[in-house]
Amino acid sequence: MIARSALSGVSRKLLLSIAAIGATAAIAGLGTYATFTSSTSASQSVASGTVTIALGATGASTNRLTVGASNIAAGDTIQRSVDLINQGTLNLASVSLTTSATTSSLLNTDTSNGLQMAIDKCSVAWTEGGSAPAYTYTCSGSTSSVLASTPVVGSNLALSNLSALTAGSTDHLRVTLTLPSGAGNTLQNQSSVIQYAFTGTQRAATNQ
């Protein structure tokens, strides 16, 4: 009798332990699987713009910068037309011009008596006259100065009064090189090749 009662007590304890474990597992299961959730989402399209400036078609009155000149004398001028086009989708804060001499001589190194450069703009396309390479240009609209006279070689020269700061716009420019009338004999028999590089800078950052 004593042994049977002891065994019965042990059995009750085992059953109680198993029941307690089962209850704990059930509570843990409620904590894992009974959580409420909700989610939502959205998508946004973002595209960057472009900064693209270009010159007019080479060989036409929209770009005569590649046309050279020879046998120039003191006091002569060299006029060349060129269109500056904003082909990008962004407006620009500025456009600058850097000129360099890929073949150098006193024509570009003598900043006083060597070639001087000025750039003007016409509100409409320039009317081209003369015969190649001695072109002349007149404006049937209004003219404005884009770059005042300066030595032909310069770095990051700021250009003003440009319409091409606005995306899709075009400026009709005339580049004039002048050999000053005071150029002395040392400027004879000189030869230079001038390269023109225009750089457009995007507008200021803004909230979109």
**Contact between 165 and 74 (Cβ < 8 Å):** no
- pLDDT, average across residues 88-101: 97
The three-class DSSP label of residue 120 is strand
> Tokens 């109680």 appear where?
16
What is the average pLDDT score of the chain? 89
| Of 94, 102, 63, nearest in space to 165 by CA | 94
- pLDDT, average across residues 110-119: 97
Output the pTM of the full model: 0.81
pLDDT surpasses 70 at 54: yes
| Of 159, 146, 137, nearest in space to 62 by CA | 137
pLDDT at position 181: 96
What are the strands of the beta sheet with 170-178, ordered from one edge? Answer: 53-55, 77-86, 170-178, 116-122, 143-151
34 pLDDT tier (thresholds 50, 70, 90): confident
State the DSSP H helix or E strand holding residue 13, giving kind and residue range, or none if neither: helix 2-33
Residues 176 and 149: their CA atoms lie apart, in Å, by 9
- Among the residue ranges 13-17, 135-139, 168-172, the one predicted with the least confidence is 13-17
* Six token digits for residue 39: 């989610």
Chain centroid to CA 146: how far? 20
15 pLDDT tier (thresholds 50, 70, 90): very low
DSSP state of 11: H
Position 188: which residue type?
Answer: Q
